[in-house]
Chains A and B, each alone.
Chain A
Amino acid sequence: MVAMLLFILKSMENNQIIKEVSIEHGKVLINQSEFFTGETSDLGPFLKSLYKQLNLKYNKYFKMDHLSKLGFLASEVLLLNEGIANETDEVAIILANASSSLHTDVKYQESIADIPSPSVFVYTLPNIVIGEISIRNKFYGEHMFFVQPSYNKEELLDYTTCLFNSTPCKYAIVGWVEVNRNGDYSAKLMLCQNKK
């Protein structure tokens, strides 16, 4: 018990949350303040309107599945105006969700009887969204995709602190990117800074 408490206290020291982004029910919040509200909260059209709002020109976006699009756009909002350098090992990406890639898994499962599509199959792994964010920003650093029963923010921050204490990471994108089998979605990302 004492060891656990010491671990938690030690954990608090170096890891500072400098920005938070939330995307749910058609609304994007930055640090709890409204940033964008879509005309509809339905996942597909909402993502489209957010992409337009951000004035992005990124062709790879259109090949992504919904989970990757959601995580990608949330990371774009999170990194907006933060001036974090590209081409680096110093930004970690630690994400989690409950449904893994099940939204796309069901779509792929339905395609097996016809002609299975490699471009759908590749998105039947939840960590692909990390790959997409890494490609966009040229982040070569530490990353991991965890699956949790529900969003366990403390567990992810615990692990991020371990990373900050034992690797050269200066920043970490940490949080939840979930699209369930019904298309219900939620993204909650934090930008953490290593204060070591």
Chain B
Amino acid sequence: MVRVAAHNIISPLGCTSQENFDKVVAGQSGIALRKKGELSDTDFQAALLNMEVLKDKISGIANAEAYTKLEQLCILSLNEVLDGVDVKSERTGFIFSTTKGNITEITNNPHAVDALLATTANKIANYFGFKSSPQVISNACISGLAAFVIGRRYIDAGKYDNVIILGADILSKFIVSGFQSFQSLSPEPCKPFDANRDGLTLGEGVASVVLSKADNTNKACVEVVSGAISNDANHISGPSRTGEGLYRAITRTVGANEEVDCICAHGTATPYNDDMESHAISRAGYETIPVSGLKGYFGHTLGAAGVIESIISILAMQNNVVIGTKGTVEQGVVAPVNVTKENIQKPVNGLLKLMSGFGGCNAAVYFKKHGE
């Protein structure tokens, strides 16, 4: 079996997983109104990292100025999870998930080498001395969760004993203007699954996870039981109206005898995405299962989202809590689902994590808690 051995989140809410989790449980959000400037020609809502807070830590990176902001953040996050992992073994794999990496590098130089995602991954891998070559996943908003699916498969097949997952995206005018051009940014902090939801809020974050092969199921841990990736085969920028792809990902992920106690949805708070998810969830027979959405705390952190939200979900399982969906006042999606507004204290032994993205892609992962 494959277990989650270590994890870290760097977000506007904090620099450790625990700090992030505690703030989420306390109902705090990293989203704030940002004045127009470098990232946008108009004021906009976003969950932005505060680089001032991280200054001391960054100065601790050897030769820090050789790395971009994104790479520095990645190094800081990986630093927190690699204790006891033999990175110099060929049995340790490294997966880097991102949508746009160092895209700001092309602003002044369209041929900048640092804009290549494999260059970024190699710089980070070389910093730590990874022996196996990094694998970069760039599959839109499912990238982070897809890394769990792929990492689990590699360990299951015997290719690796450990897989390091790193998800990272920071905001740039490139990304912000793109979502603005789609008119998909909400003027207020996003309201997932709400009747009055009117778009998403972007966020920044970096997160790391170590997946490890485990033989001993008696030890307390969270297992990555299964996962699947699917396509809507319907539209490149709009989700399926019927939730077809996500429904298929769910049914290929959750085995007939598995119990789902909670679903951590994608919940971007765009009208179409949340309706699509409600269809997929209710078609799968989970109308009454509590659904959480975490975008109200972190915003949509793109390639990092699947990693950040999975880590919060894992901590929620270990703390026996279903996290309330910040921003939801009155549920308003087309199909019957049970969106959780406030935290609920209850055992969560099986959790289903969902993500969807441009290109019609969907991913699902089923996590299970063992021992106490």
A and B from one assembly?
yes
Using a CB–CB distance below 8 Å, which chain A residues touch chain B?
1, 3-4, 6-7, 10-11, 89, 93, 98-100, 102, 105-106, 108-109, 112, 115-118, 121-122, 124-128, 130-132, 134-135, 137-149, 152, 155, 158-159, 161-163, 165-168, 181
B1 part of interface (Cβ distance < 8 Å): no
Q: Contact string, B229-251, partner A, CB cutoff 8 A, digits 1/0?
A: 11111111100000011001000
Q: A3-B91, A89-B248 are in contact. List 17 more A-B contacts (CB 8 A).
A: A10-B157, A10-B158, A98-B118, A105-B174, A109-B106, A112-B173, A125-B138, A127-B139, A130-B231, A131-B231, A131-B358, A135-B236, A140-B233, A142-B230, A147-B116, A162-B159, A181-B111
Please report the C-alpha to C-alpha distance between residue A102 and residue B118 in the assembled complex, in whole angstroms. Answer: 13
Which of A99, A100, A102, A140 is in CB contact (< 8 Å) with B230?
A140
Q: Can you list 24 A-B contacts with CB-CB less than 8 angstroms, sorted by A residue number?
A: A7-B157, A98-B118, A116-B177, A116-B178, A116-B181, A118-B178, A124-B178, A125-B358, A127-B139, A127-B359, A132-B236, A135-B234, A140-B232, A140-B245, A142-B229, A142-B230, A144-B146, A144-B150, A146-B138, A147-B121, A147-B136, A148-B136, A152-B133, A181-B111
Cβ of B361 < 8 Å from any Cβ of A? yes
Whether B159 and A131, one on each chain, are in contact in the complex, defined by CB atoms closer than 8 angstroms, is: no
Chain A residues whose CB sits within 8 angstroms of the CB of B178 once the complex forms: 108, 116, 118, 121, 124
Interface contact A149-B100, CB-CB below 8 Å: no
In the complex, which residues of chain B have a beta carbon less than 8 angstroms from the beta carbon of A163?
153
- Which A residues are CB-close (under 8 A) to B50? none
In the complex, the answer to whether B173 meets A135 with C-beta atoms within 8 Å is no
Q: How far is the CA of A155 from the CA of B154 in the complex (A)?
A: 11
Contact A147 B157, beta carbon cutoff 8 Å: no
Q: How far does the alpha carbon of A135 sit from the alpha carbon of B107 in the complex, in Å?
A: 33
Interface string of B282-325 (1 = CB under 8 A from A): 00000000000000000000000000000000000000000000
Q: Is there contact, CB below 8 Å, between B110 and A135?
A: no
Interface-central residue, B122, B139, B154, B228, by most chain A CB under 10 Å: B139
Contact A147 B153 (CB under 8 A): no
Cβ A131 vs Cβ B177 within 8 A: no
* B-side contacts of A7, CB under 8 Å: 157-159
Contacting pair A128 B358 (CB below 8 A): yes
Chain A neighbourhood of B177, CB < 8 A = 112, 116, 121
Name the B residues within 8 Å of A168 (CB-CB): 252
In the bound complex, CA of A125 to CA of B359 (Å): 8
- B residues less than 8 Å from A140 (CB atoms): 230-233, 244-245, 248
- The residue on B at minimum CB distance from A64 is B236
- Interface residues in B153-183 by Cβ distance below 8 A to A read 153-154, 156-159, 173-174, 177-178, 180-182
Measured CA separation A98–B116 after assembly (Å): 7
Per-residue 0/1 for B96-140: is the Cβ within 8 Å of any A Cβ (1 yes, 0 no)? 000111010011001100011111011000000000010111111
Flag if B159 contacts A158 (CB, 8 Å): yes
Query: In the complex, which of the residues B90, B119, B360 contacts A135, with contact meaning CB atoms closer than 8 Å?
Result: B360
Q: How far is the CA of A10 from the CA of B107 in the complex (A)?
A: 46
Query: Which residues of chain B are near A165, meaning CB under 8 Å?
Result: 157
Are the C-beta atoms of A142 and B136 separated by less than 8 Å? no
Interchain CB contact under 8 A, A116 and B361: no
Q: A135-B360, A141-B230, A148-B136 are in contact. Are A162 and B174 (CB under 8 A)?
A: no
- CB closest residue in chain B, given A88: B233
The answer to whether B181 touches A117, judged by C-beta atoms less than 8 angstroms apart, is: yes
Q: Which of B103, B119, B136, B173 contacts A105 (CB 8 A)?
A: B103
Q: Which residue of A lies closest to B178 (CB)?
A: A121
Q: Is the CB of A149 within 8 A of B122?
A: yes
User: How many angstroms between the C-alpha atoms of A1 and B99 in the bound complex?
Assistant: 34
Q: Is the CB of B358 within 8 A of A99?
A: no
CB closest residue in chain B, given A159? B150
- Chain A residues with Cβ below 8 Å from B107 are 109
